[in-house]
Amino acid sequence: MTSEVPRLQPPPTRLLRGDEPIQGSTGTVRDFWAWALSDLRGNTVRPMLAEFLVAQALGAESSPRIEWDAYDVVTPNGIRVEVKSSAYVQAWAQSRPSSIRFGGLNGRTWDETAGYADSATYNADVYVFALVTAREHASYDPLDLEQWTFWVLPRRTVEETGQKSLALSRVEALAGEAVSHDGLAEAVQAAWVPRRSDHQG
């Protein structure tokens, strides 16, 4: 039986500049961004910032983020990258810095005609684990790249753990030395194992 083709096909997402007006309002898209995304400690906003920083390091920031994709970033040469982030300092009061754990390593893919896959899989070629290292609110500044540390692992290594999440200590043991933002492109390229389809012309 042929799957039904969706009748409502959205146009490609375009990058907004921020100065676009909200029709019928005195606000702009930038005003909305400031209202919704200013708390960079939040567990919904910080991951998006981490994804942007990785995309920027890999030369992939010119393509808008697609929320429902099975991975977060695609490099210009087609490497699919999943970005996982964490931080010691959160947007709420804490008695101590958070324990670092990176979750959501696998998941069910979604197709516009078939819906969700039956089982969870590891869907990226390379995994980047991003950590904001500040341990106090007074020094916390996620807009300072000196406060970010990154570890890079190939899919095979992550998949072989069979885990949905990994503690920081396990990531460090598997990935070895962390890299800076400037070193991400080289580390991701080194961790990439081409898919069989990448060799087919």
Tens digits of residue pLDDT in 58-98: 999 988 888 878 899 999 999 999 999 999 999 999 999 99
CA 20 to chain CA mean position, Å: 26
pLDDT of residue 198: 52
CA atoms within 13 Å, Cβ hemisphere of 33 = 11
Instruction: Report the alpha-carbon distance of residue 3 to residue 114 in Å, rounded.
Output: 7
| pLDDT band per the 50, 70, 90 thresholds, residue 199 | very low
Residue 115 lies in a domain: yes
Residue 172 lies in a domain: yes
Q: Is 81 helix (H, G, I), strand (E, B) or coil?
A: strand
Please, what is the Cα angle at 155 between 116 and 177, to 5 degrees? 140
CA 169 to chain CA mean position, Å: 20
Amino acid at 32: F
* Tokens linked to 104: 């959501």
Residue 7 lies in a domain: no
CA 19 to chain CA mean position, Å: 26
pLDDT of residue 200: 46
**How many domains does the structure of the chain reveal?**
1
The tens digit of pLDDT for each residue in 2-61 reads 556 667 777 888 899 999 999 999 999 999 999 999 999 999 999 999 999 999 999 999
> Given a cut of 90, is residue 197 above it in pLDDT?
no
For the chain, counts of helices (H) and of strands (E): 5, 8
pLDDT of residue 66: 84
pTM, to two decimals: 0.90
pLDDT of residue 8: 78
Domain enclosing residue 66, as ranges: 40-194
pLDDT of residue 4: 64
Instruction: Report the alpha-carbon distance of residue 86 to residue 4 in Å, rounded.
Output: 40
